[in-house]
Each structure stands twice: as structure tokens, then as C-alpha cells.
Structure 1
Amino acid sequence: MNLDFSAAWQALIHHPLFGLGITLAVYQLAVIAYERTRWIFLQPVLFSMVVLVALLLLSGLDYGEYSASVSPLILLLGPSTVALAVPLYLNLRRIRQLLVPILVTLLVAGVFATVSGVLLAWLLGAERLVLMTLAPKSVTSPIAMLVADEIGGVAALAAVFVMITGVLGAMFGPALLDLCRVSHPAARGMAMGMTAHAVGTSRALQESEECGAFSALAMSLMGVATAVLLPLLVALIV
């Protein structure tokens, strides 16, 4: 009987759809729990990540096998990113009206978001490798990994910094904006998109369509600016 149970368990965890199934189930449970409680530590990305890591460790499933199982979700990242153009298009007129404030925010906040993190790490005694890895923390993982590799950082570690930044931004960003009495949807969206990229944009879309649109715009502009300007800036300074 024990042998049969062990064989059945091994067949279950090594099924091609096991990783995909537990990922979708855990995330859906996290969303439901967060919607009902609004407890920041149940933020879906953070909660799902912690639970999935625990499940992989308990089940003994290899990460490579899990990664192959969830490959359909990775393929959906492209269409989901493109879908962010929908709220942008619906709010295009509003974006045109606020074009100058948007560009000023990109210049000031973009520089501050990049420099503040690097400066804090430098004051704490971080080495150059860590500083270059930390610099592109406020953009999406694909861009951050490429930029970090180009300026002398570690691409894999940059992805970790990006995830931490996004999760913390989604958890504490709205409360901090409320504390600072920032209520305008465009301003809140720009702040979330520029600092917490895709995770922040997901959180902004929960507030309103306009907030999500400006967050998606800020995330896109921040990504382009970082990819183009940060390597040039590092080359000039170093």
C-alpha cells in the first residue's frame, strides 16, 4: 500500500501539468484572500511566491521540471504586456493633456528612483558589482537583466532586485501615497509604474482604469529611458 501511495505521489508531482496547476491554484487563492482581507502581506505575488517555494521544497520537485511545467504562463507574458495598451488607448486624450507633467515626472522621478537606491547601497558599503546590479531595479526583469549585464552587474541578481522592488512597491506604495495625500489617479499611476513596474501596474489597475493606464505608461517610459540612458551614463562616469 505504501509503495502504491509513493508511486502515485511521484506520478502526481511529475505530471507535466502539476506545476501549472499549483501555480494557478495558489495565485487564485492569494487573490481571494487579499481581496477579502486587504492585508498587505497577502499581496498575491508575494504570497504565491512564498507558498510555491514551500510546496516545491516539500514535494521535492526540481525547479527545472517546475519551470518547464509553467512554460505556458511564460508564453502569456507577451500578450498580457501588449494588453496594457488597451487602457493606454482608452486614456490617450488624458495622456496628451498631461504630456508635459508626464515628461517632467519621468525626468525627476526616474533619476531619483535610480540614484537613490544606488546611493543608499554605496553608503552601506556595497561593491561596484552590487551597485551596477541594483541600478536598473525599477524596470521590468527582461530590461533590467540586459542593462545590468551591459553595465557590469549580475543579470540573475538584477531579476531578484526587480522582484523585491515590485512586491514592496505594490505592498506599501498605495498606503504611502495615501499618507502623502496623493489622490490624483494619474499621479498615483505614474508613481506605481515608475517604481514598482509590472507588479505596481497590476496594483494600479485595481484602483482604476486611469490609474492603471498611467502606470503602464510610466513603466514603459521608465524601461526605455533606463535601457538607453543608464548604460551611457555609466560609461561616462566610470
Structure 2
Amino acid sequence: MPKFVELWIYLSATPLFGLTATVVVYVLAQALYARLDQAAWANPVLWSVVVLACGLSATGVDYPTYFSGAQFIHFLLGPAVVALAWPLWERRAALHQHWRALSAAALLGGMAASGSALLLGWLAGLPNEVVLSLAPKSVTAPVAMGIAEKVGGIPALAAVFAVLTGMVGALSGKALFAWLKVPADAKGWMARGFAMGTAAHGIGAARALQVNSDAGAFAGLALGVQVVLASLLIPLCFKCF
């Protein structure tokens, strides 16, 4: 057996493989994204997922082996979400001024996100378990999996729907806001960010933060609010109806 093959087999089985592969692929994707002037289709999260999935499939490395190293990055998601509270604290005056509108937007936006997904799934004649897995599509994947399990959906499928929702939101948000002529002033960035966080959870919030710090702050707020609302209201609604 050639030496490089032996070396690859050894390295791919170590925990550092998943961590190193994830960091290297994302750094390259981020560099390409910056070089292409942050084109929506070049979203680094999208291409990192595609490249890593293709790479794992081509090399025969199973997901548990990969995740044994990548779980360190997964752990950092918690502190990263908490860190989003700081830019929001810096904008507490705007939050205090517009809390009623933001509360209404969070509630109605969450209802629209889940309700429209359920309606489309039902109209398309999808199996009941698949339709139920669509309900938490606009919250971050780990939470979506827990909600889907409670309401009778398929957790793994709910995670896929959540990631796809975030990708679509991150890719299409900028063009959609331009089409809707949402202004690029202080209130406009607040509205854009809150909408991105409500509809496209963490992936959308990351994209909003790349575009504008105000948008990123309110996207982080919407992300957290939707997690709480969806965790409480979706299981309650299915239990009642």
C-alpha cells in the first residue's frame, strides 16, 4: 500500500481530521466569497457544506468520524449565539422604542413561516411525518429536531429543512429586500435584520451581520425569540388541534 494512502487512512480516522477539514474548507470558501464581492450565490456556508459532503462521500469517511473532530466547532455555536447579545445591547434604545412592533413581527412572522410550510406540504400531498417536519423549519437545526420529535415529525428531516431554509434566506434576502424597496436607513436595517433572523435563523443572521451591523444585531434577537416561541407554541398548537 502506498505511503500516502496509509497516511490518509491514519489522518482520516483522527479527531483532528473533521476540525481541520471544516476550518480549511470554510476559510477557502470565505476567501472566494470576498473575492467575488460577496455574491449571494457564493455564500461560504453553502459551499462549505457542499464541498465537505462531497469530500466525505468521495473518501468514504463516515459522519461520526468526521463529527468527532468537528464537534468542537459545534460547541462554539452556543457562545457565538450568546455573543450576538452584545451588539443588541449597544442598540437597546432602538429596541426599547420599537419593542411592540418587533414583538408583533416575531409572533406573526413565526406563524407565517410555520403555517405556510404546513399548508404547502399538505397541498402537495406529502406524508404526514414529512409535513410535521416542516413546521419548525425557520428555527436553528438542533431546536428544529427537538420540536419535530415532539410533534411526530422526523428529526433528521427537520434538520435538513432548517438548513435549506437558512440557505435560501441567506441567498435571496438581499435581492428580496431590494425588490420590496426596504430602505437602507437605520429602521430599514433593523427591519431587514429582524426579518432575516425570523425567517432564516442562524444562517440568515450570519448573512445579515456580514452586510450591516444593525441588521446583524436585530437578526440575532429574532433568532433567539423564534427559538423560544417555536419551542413553546408549535408543540402546544399540535397538542390542542
Code of the residue aligned with 1:84 in structure 2: it is: L
Partners of 1:5 and 1:234 lie apart in 2 by 55
Q: Identity of paired residues, percent?
A: 41
Partners of 2:107 and 2:12 lie apart in 1 by 49
Aligned pair 1:217/2:216, yes or no?
no
Partners of 2:109 and 2:102 lie apart in 1 by 10
Aligned to 1:47: 47
Partners of 2:165 and 2:147 lie apart in 1 by 16
Aligned to 1:195: 199
1:193 and 1:217 in contact (8 A); partners too: yes
Q: CA deviation at 1:62?
A: 2.0
Alpha carbons of structure 1 residues 93 and 50: separation in structure 2 relative to 1, 3 Å: same
Code of the residue aligned with 1:206 in structure 2: it is: Q
Aligned-residue Cα RMSD (Å) equals: 1.3
1:119-198 to structure 2, matched below 5 A, reads 119-183=119-183, 184-198=188-202
Q: Any stretches of 5+ residues in structure 1 without a counterpart?
A: none
Partners of 1:209 and 1:107 lie apart in 2 by 24
Aligned to 1:13: 12
Code of the residue aligned with 1:186 in structure 2: it is: M
2:15 and 2:69 in contact (8 A); partners too: yes
Q: CA deviation at 1:110?
A: 1.7
2:106 and 2:225 in contact (8 A); partners too: yes
Aligned pair 1:85/2:85, yes or no?
yes
1:166 and 1:197 in contact (8 A); partners too: yes
2:132 and 2:153 in contact (8 A); partners too: yes
Q: CA deviation at 1:35?
A: 1.7
1:17-32 to structure 2, matched below 5 A, reads 17-32=16-31
Q: CA deviation at 1:41?
A: 2.6
TM-score if structure 2 supplies the norm length?
0.93
TM-score if structure 1 supplies the norm length?
0.95
Q: Any stretches of 5+ residues in structure 2 without a counterpart?
A: none
- Farther off after superposition, 99-108 or 180-189: 99-108
Q: CA deviation at 1:93?
A: 1.1
- Farther off after superposition, 139-148 or 45-54: 139-148
Match of 1:226 among 204, 226, 230: 230
Q: CA deviation at 1:70?
A: 1.2
Partners of 2:13 and 2:129 lie apart in 1 by 38
Matched pairs, number: 236
SS at 2:125's partner residue?
A: coil
Q: CA deviation at 1:60?
A: 2.0
